[in-house]
Structure 1
Amino acid sequence: MYISVEEACNKWNITRDALLELLNENKIFGAVLNNNNEYEIPMYAENPYELSNKNLLDIIDQKLKQLNKLRELCFSEKNRFLNDFSIENTFNSNAIEGSTLTLRETVLALQGITIDTKPLKYHLDAIGHKQAFDYILELVDNNEELTERRIKDIHFLVLANKRVDAGRYRNMQVSILGSEHKPTSPYLIESKMKQLLDEYKNSTENLIVKIAKFHLDFESIHPFIDGNGRTGRLLLNLELMKNGFPPIDIKYTNRTKYYQCFDDYHITNSPSSMVDLIANYLIIQLNYQIDIRNQETSN
């Protein structure tokens, strides 16, 4: 959901010139250029002037407290939100990995309709991701601990187009296209995954920092031959939802910024870029959740 520059100016009570300057300086998270070369801004993005001198993690804490004071969504409302979210998330997560299905084509593929101009692989990728998302919802409902077995189960569902490799750690060295980082050697994957899960479980850091670091380290290990990115983003949402946060949808249009988070981590060993990315997406989602619950209350 996006709004125009004019709508954002009215919402935040700032001039068009001031807003365009912020956009040119890349200070409005999630803003994109449409096909007409005009900026579109996430409807629930935070006023950039209000963000400038504040800690994003503090803002998230405040908004989560605000959200928790409002009534919970009823069963049908929650299901509708999660179903709509999972479809768009399936589209974006697969698009980041190269799928050419549009959002509309993703909907059709999930309904069992074949788009004859698109490869079968992309249809199976859509179905597999949606099934994996539904599975993590079960894990959230049961507050299941994150384990290697559950990570492999999620990957098994994600890799619907390549069952021979699904749910199994890779046994060959791989490289990541466009990255200088070398993933973990195959014979070290199992021990590295055990270490990763132990460190995550025992960490006393802020939850968002913990989850960001886990995501960075998981993708750095790159334990599977394929499907690491999709699996990793599902794990990210699994841990967010288990801890009372809404899921986030890392957009295909933000993929360059997302990739840069990994490059920054491999250079600096600091998860700060990924923390900021996740935090900004969370603020948008929390604003959305607060808005829809306030609307229902007023009605």
Structure 2
Amino acid sequence: MEYMSVKEASLKWHISDRRIRVLCSERKIFGIIKEGKNYRIPVDALKPVDGRTLRGKDIPREYKEIFARIDAKKVELQKRRVLTQGELERFREEFLIEFTYNSNAIEGNTLTLQETALVLEGITIDRKPLKDHLEVVGHKEAFLYVMDMVSKQVPISEKVIKEIHSLILVDRPHDRGVYRQIPVRIMGSTQIPAQPFLVPIQMEELMMRLNKMHLIERLARFHMEFERIHPFIDGNGRTGRLLMNLELMQQGFPPINVKFTDRKRYYECFADYHEHNNASKMIIMLADYMEEELDGYLTILR
């Protein structure tokens, strides 16, 4: 690995030598080596995020390092060259295929990744249920709607949530975009979702909470509370994951893709939250996914 001096880092990042030494002593620059009174800093180290970006937010100590790392990578990504329209469309097409496959597979869809890609192109898969095909089409339309909301900077609201759900549940016209009116149970979970008459009240309350948290923690808690309320008769998981990406993209982050292969870890996050009120597992899982996405973009753009 190549290293630079404090002076070189100062010139590169446009901050004072003294400030860099303080950041090194506080271990806010990752990968440094201390030799006597001098610090050696990796040449590809990210400029530490300005602490003022977290001002006014309640950041638990155990998340400060990973949130600072994510914010620094986001800043680094924004400084890199702008992708061409063709490159952006290619990234979005690839993400849409994988995101649609994984999100649907978590909910029991039987189409493979390759079959999902074919259905997105308009091809029918022999001996696969019509329901599976419609779920792919619905998810695609919902994702395109999310992208439109991002471009228009439309904030999340109950109206937006219902419209996303309406696109997701294309195979059940009477239940689309409508809060459920019967009690439900989630298979394999001890958590009992809200009673039907409480759903509108709890959804309204959910939209007004969690504002002082870092985005990753806020989304993790929002997602788990949304699934706890379970406002719709079906399609809650797919809707919830689209809502996370709507907020992420509006805040300048790339979207994340919860993998079907990670479904056991994903379900354990909900169980730990509902049984022990512990949100840490979901927060760390989403942070891991976000770092993975940011690292992928930075590797390409470098």
Post-superposition offset of 1:194: 0.3
Partner of 2:152: 142
Which of 265, 269, 292 is the equivalent residue of 1:284? 292
Which of 163, 186, 210 is the equivalent residue of 2:218? 210
Could you tell me how far apart the structure 2 residues matched to 1:163 and 1:216 are? 26
Partner of 1:95: 105
Structure 1, residues 162-210: CA drift from partner, whole Å, max 9, x if none? 111011010000000110000010001001000000114xx11111111
Partner of 2:40: none
Partner of 2:255: 247
Which runs of 5 or more residues in structure 1 are unaligned? Answer: 1-52, 295-299
Find the residue that maps to 2:275 and give its secondary structure.
helix
Find the residue that maps to 1:106 and give its secondary structure.
helix
Partner of 1:63: 73
Q: Does 1:162 align with 2:172?
A: yes
Structure 1, residues 42-76: CA drift from partner, whole Å, max 9, x if none? xxxxxxxxxxx983212211211211111121222
Higher relative contact order (CA 8 A, sep 6+): 1
Which runs of 5 or more residues in structure 2 are unaligned? Answer: 1-62
Post-superposition offset of 1:274: 0.7
Partner of 1:83: 93
Which of 190, 197, 201 is the equivalent residue of 2:207? 197
Could you tell me how far apart the structure 2 residues matched to 1:84 and 1:61 are? 25
Amino acid of the structure 1 residue aligned with 2:234:
D
Which of 257, 261, 269 is the equivalent residue of 2:269? 261
Amino acid of the structure 2 residue aligned with 1:92:
N
Partner of 2:116: 106
Q: Structure 1 residues 161-170 or 118-127, which shifts more?
A: 161-170
Amino acid of the structure 2 residue aligned with 1:219:
E
Could you state the TM-score of these two structures normalised by the residue count of structure 2?
Answer: 0.78
Could you state the TM-score of these two structures normalised by the residue count of structure 1?
Answer: 0.78
Identity %: 49
Partner of 1:32: none
Find the residue that maps to 1:163 and give its secondary structure.
coil
Closer/same/farther in 2, CA of residues 54 and 151 from structure 1, 3 Å limit: closer
Could you tell me how far apart the structure 2 residues matched to 1:112 and 1:81 are? 20
Greater C-alpha Rg? 2
Amino acid of the structure 1 residue aligned with 2:219:
I
CA RMSD of aligned residues (A): 1.5
